[in-house]
Structure 1
Amino acid sequence: MGGKIDCYLDIASLYSYLAFLELQKNRDLLASHNVQVEYHPILLGGISALSGNPPPWTLRAKARYLTHDARRSVARQGPPSPPISFPADLMQRGMTVAPMRCLLYIKQHHPAEVFESALHYLFHLFWSPPNADLTRLESVAGALGEVPRGFEGAGTGSGTGVREGEGREKLLFTEAEVREIVEGASEEEIKIGLKGVTQEALGKGAFGAPWLWVVDERTGRGEPFFGSDRFHFVYEFLGLPYTNVMLLPASDEKAKL
């Protein structure tokens, strides 16, 4: 048993957020089965354009359905605190070139746990009221400057979770590191790199996010999986023990009703 899950995601994708929360929740269990998880920042807009798959909310019928599906999906995952809310101008806020470049820079220059805390915090800001606008590098810099160490999402409100009077040692990045990240995100190497990772996902069949590429160590074979609710298929593919969805018989009380 063993393998790897490569998860390609964009903070503008709600289902990427839900997949991230699911994978983080099961990270230790997956590790106990020798399954590694790696997150890859991509541009969902690039995936949509280059795969010929327009955003679902641009089709009226899909947009109507998504209001139901998103509510159900969040409820199934267990809503983060504060609860998820949709930006009123999702199309505009979804221009996430700046934050995704910053995240790629962080991934390349900081330990994995730092990258994952930053990724989690930007997801949190994007999808929690008042839904931060992260389309500009200056706003991303402000967000990165307030990421609490070991951020896990619960009970932080829309602020940092760092109480007044506490020093910057409670924060994930120093002011100098934030400047370095923002400057690094503007470098040609990172711009090309983000396009390259997006192209890598497309090469693995991506038409949306989250896109999972899963490799089974036993056979060396890889397969794609799409969405935040396909983990039973992932576990089946990897040969992991899991409990499937099962309809239970009615209790005596319910049967009488």
Structure 2
Amino acid sequence: MSGKITCYLDCVSPYSYFALIYLDRYREALKSYNVDIDIVPVFLGGINVGSGNKPPWTLQAKADYSRYDSGRAKKYFGVPNVKTPAFFPILSLLPQRALVVIKAQHPGLFMSTFRSFFLEMWENGIDLSKPELLVQVLSKTFSDAQARELLEKANAPDWKQKLNDNTKEALDRGAFGCPWYWVINSNGQEEPFFGSDRFHYMWEYLGLPWKDIELPAAGRAKI
């Protein structure tokens, strides 16, 4: 069997962090079934504007619920130190453009850099929208010269346009938030998926032999 998962993510979204962790965890298993993963940096602010959606914290009921849901998600995905930084939300254009450059020019370091962006922002409280802080984070993976070059390219018109194009592609595929997925199965059928808790639907659509969550009856041995 074969298939492809195109996943649209923004470092400003903690649920994008959870999605990246999960897909990275099962990358080799998916590869064994000839399912490719393509991670695409997008600008979530542009998706919200383009789709007419509003961030969840702008609705009080969603904001109140989020503290429960995010706590459960942090535990499930194994990132208990995730916390909302004082400067949240940020304008994520600069770090997302940098990721577009890295994906094109340093593909072998793209996934690890994207994960580091999430970690630095959501666990270490680093404001990646500030150029001087972003270059410091980049310097942990790249040389100082490379980090400065990446920052310079992230401000260049061509790379700005590439992020715009990625965002438009997601919108054209129905996106109203992140993480957003466009999935092609072995029959050539294509469908969208949304969120960090819909992977079982995705595996079913791809025809993968996944295992459902089981609740053993009281008194039965745990499996």
Residue matched to 1:142? 136
Matched, 1:215 2:209: no
* Correspondence 1:119 to 2:114: yes
Aligned to 2:195: 227
**What is the aligned partner in structure 2 of residue 41 from structure 1?**
41
How far is 1:189 from its partner? 0.4
Identity of aligned pairs, percent?
A: 43
- Describe the superposition over 1:31-58 as per-residue Cα deviations: whole angstroms up to 9, x where unpaired: 0111111110101111111100100000
Structure 1, gaps ≥5 residues long: 147-171
Matches within 5 A, 1:62-81: 62-79=62-79
Q: Which amino acid aligns with 1:87?
A: P
The one-letter code sitting in structure 1 at the alignment partner of 2:215 is L
Measured after TM superposition, the shift of residue 143 of structure 1 is: 0.8
Q: Give the AA of the match of 1:84.
A: V
Question: Secondary structure of 2:208's partner?
Answer: coil
Aligned CA-pair RMSD: 1.3
Aligned length: 221
Match of 1:187 among 152, 156, 160: 156
Pair 1:18–1:187, CA change in 2 (3 A): same
- Tell me what 2:10 maps to: 10
Which of 138, 160, 172 is 1:203 aligned to? 172
Give the Cα–Cα distance (whole angstroms) in 1 for the partners of residues 14 and 79 of structure 2.
Answer: 12
Q: Quick one: distance in 2 between partners of 1:43 and 1:137?
A: 17
Task: List runs of 5+ in structure 2 lacking aligned partners.
Answer: none
Q: For residues 137 and 85 of structure 1, what CA distance do their matches in structure 2 show?
A: 22
TM-score by length of 2: 0.95
Q: Which one has a bigger Cα radius of gyration?
A: 1
Residue in 2 aligned with 1:149? none
Q: TM-score, normalised by structure 1?
A: 0.83
